[in-house]
A and B are shown apart, each in its own frame.
Chain A
Amino acid sequence: MFPVTFDYLEARNLDEAIALLEQHGGDAKILAGGQSLIPLMRFRIAGPTILIDINRIDSLEYIQETDGTLHIGALTREAELDNSALIRNRYPILLDTSSMVADPIVRNWATVGGNIAHADPANDHPATMLALGARIVARGPAGERVLSIDEFFTDAPFETALAPNEVLTEIRIPAPVERSGGAYFKLERKVGDYAIAGAAAYIVLDAGGNVSYAGIGLTNLAQVPIKARNAEQSLLGKPLDDAAIHAAADLAAAATQPTSDTRGPADYKRAMARTLTVRALRKALARATGGE
């Protein structure tokens, strides 16, 4: 199948990409890895009249930890997360996530920034970034601004707080502190499929073993990525024992609004949200306490 006709423009650097967006506004789409956009264009679900290709802006591909923050360039390929020793050793929740995105061939081009900016509730990074409390750097003609991940996503699917002339340039994640840990679990029918359900959890314990931070994000269980606020709140100030884990998982499941489709009936998905939240919290706890 062929996409409808469009004009292709290649941006050689970020300023050029922003200038092109400024010039063409709502008619234009950024082409990053293209592993979601090109299939949508082939099916003619998406039909942008102008594509601005940013694939050769190498300065947007990096993974580095500085000053207590992990900086991921928006054009970083999923495969680079898969193969990064820093990610494997310090951010296993990100490896859990990247290694479940589509399949290994798709991950050679698919980008972390694209996975987030596409704002597909079925994508895997949004839940993980919501759990981690990530921040998103957006650059436009007026300069740079930093948004929290929960203000980045809106109430509408495939929509973000990015202005038509802004580019997502970087994802910032707090570096792990003492007694912190996270995990992402995804249930899928087969490699390459979207999640039937997915759950990300990130926790920090205080010196007394009580939860001082809890983040829980859910994949493909509503029209938009879910931040399970009630579940997060329920964990604060208490030890992360089995009763607390199950109570939080019930609250997470209650926050879902799944629809019945070929991946299963809504009740099943809600039950899986509960189960996966339990697993993610248990694994996060194991990682936070040096159990893994």
Chain B
Amino acid sequence: MSTHHISVTINGTPYEGDVEARILLVHWICDTLRLTGTHIGCDTTSCGACTILVDGKATKSCTMFAVQANGRQIMTVEGLEQGDKLHPLQEGFHEEHALQCGYCTPGMMMTSLALLRRNPNPTEHEIRVGISGNLCRCTGYVNIVKAVQYAAEKMQAAEQVPVGAEGGE
């Protein structure tokens, strides 16, 4: 049984610690670091509730060992909000009523973020394929698709604002 010292940057903050080799990344994030926004759903690599970004790639954090994340950049749902300002995806999920129980929501938003970074203006079909590794048992997905479309529009509009024209912040 090996133990490893790892250093990982999560949402811009450096974390380090000793982990047993068999500790899954999701357990280290939730149980050790107490970043509890990432959810453990199925434990079978099916549901996507534990999805985070690892070096920008949407990743089921129940299917990676914590030791494998050493030196990597991670983003979890806690990294979406900037100051008091909700991310367009969070706003979209709120405005479009894209959640009921909310359990799948962190994973849905992180998968959607990776999708929108790669494809800022996805079709409905592309959104549905994009989130096909995330299961929601409440909504029937209709409002989740609308929320991602909301975020896509908002993020694109923000892109078009000339630098410095936003003021504030």
Q: Which residues of A contact B (CB under 8 A)?
A: 1-9, 31, 34-35, 38-39, 41-42, 51, 53, 55, 79, 102-106, 108-109, 191-192
| 8 Å CB contact of A105 from B1, B4, B44, B111 | B111
Q: Is the CB of A106 within 8 A of B63?
A: yes
Query: How distant is the Cα of A6 from the Cα of B21 in the complex, in angstroms?
Result: 7
Q: Is the CB of B58 within 8 A of A3?
A: no
Considering the complex, give the chain B residue whose CB is closest to the CB of A4. Answer: B22
Chain A residues with CB under 8 Å of B23's CB are: 2
Q: Is the CB of B45 within 8 A of A6?
A: no
Interface window among B9-17, B76-84, B126-134? B126-134
Tell me the interface secondary structure of chain A in the complex: loop
Q: Is the CB of A8 within 8 A of B60?
A: no
Considering the complex, give the chain A residue whose CB is closest to the CB of B4. Answer: A8
Query: Taking the nearest CB of chain A, how far is it from the CB of B49, in angstroms?
Result: 11
Q: When A and B form their complex, which 7 residue pairs have the shortest distance between CB atoms, in order from nearest?
A: A103-B133, A8-B21, A5-B1, A105-B133, A191-B132, A7-B2, A108-B57
Query: How distant is the Cα of A52 from the Cα of B4 in the complex, in angstroms?
Result: 14
A-B contacts at CB below 8 angstroms, number: 82
| 8 Å CB contact of A106 from B67, B130, B133 | B133
Chain B residues with CB under 8 Å of A104's CB are: 58, 111, 129-130, 132-133
Does chain A have a CB within 8 A of B123? no
What is the 8 Å Cβ interface bit string for chain B, positions 121-152, against chain A (1 contact, 0 not)? Answer: 00000000110111000000000000000000
Query: How distant is the Cα of A42 from the Cα of B2 in the complex, in angstroms?
Result: 17
11 A/B residue pairs, CB under 8 Å, sorted by A: A7-B21, A8-B4, A34-B63, A34-B68, A35-B45, A38-B63, A38-B65, A42-B62, A53-B68, A103-B48, A105-B133
| 8 Å CB contact of B64 from A3, A5, A34, A102 | A34
Query: How distant is the Cα of A54 from the Cα of B67 in the complex, in angstroms?
Result: 13
Chain B residues with CB under 8 Å of A4's CB are: 22
| 8 Å CB contact of B60 from A5, A105, A191 | A105
Q: Is the CB of B44 within 8 A of A39?
A: yes
Query: How distant is the Cα of A5 from the Cα of B4 in the complex, in angstroms?
Result: 13
Q: Is the CB of B133 within 8 A of A192?
A: yes
Query: Taking the nearest CB of chain B, how far is it from the CB of A63, in angstroms?
Result: 17
| 8 Å CB contact of B134 from A41, A55, A105, A108 | A105
| 8 Å CB contact of A8 from B58, B62, B65 | B65
| 8 Å CB contact of A5 from B21, B45, B133 | B21
Q: Is the CB of A51 within 8 A of B58?
A: no
Chain A residues with CB under 8 Å of B59's CB are: 105, 108-109
Query: Taking the nearest CB of chain A, how far is it from the CB of B22, in angstroms?
Result: 5
Query: How distant is the Cα of A34 from the Cα of B51 in the complex, in angstroms?
Result: 15
Query: How distant is the Cα of A53 from the Cα of B67 in the complex, in angstroms?
Result: 10
Known: A8-B67, A38-B64. A108 touches B22 (CB 8 A): no
Query: How distant is the Cα of A191 from the Cα of B2 in the complex, in angstroms?
Result: 36
Considering the complex, give the chain A residue whose CB is closest to the CB of B48. Answer: A105
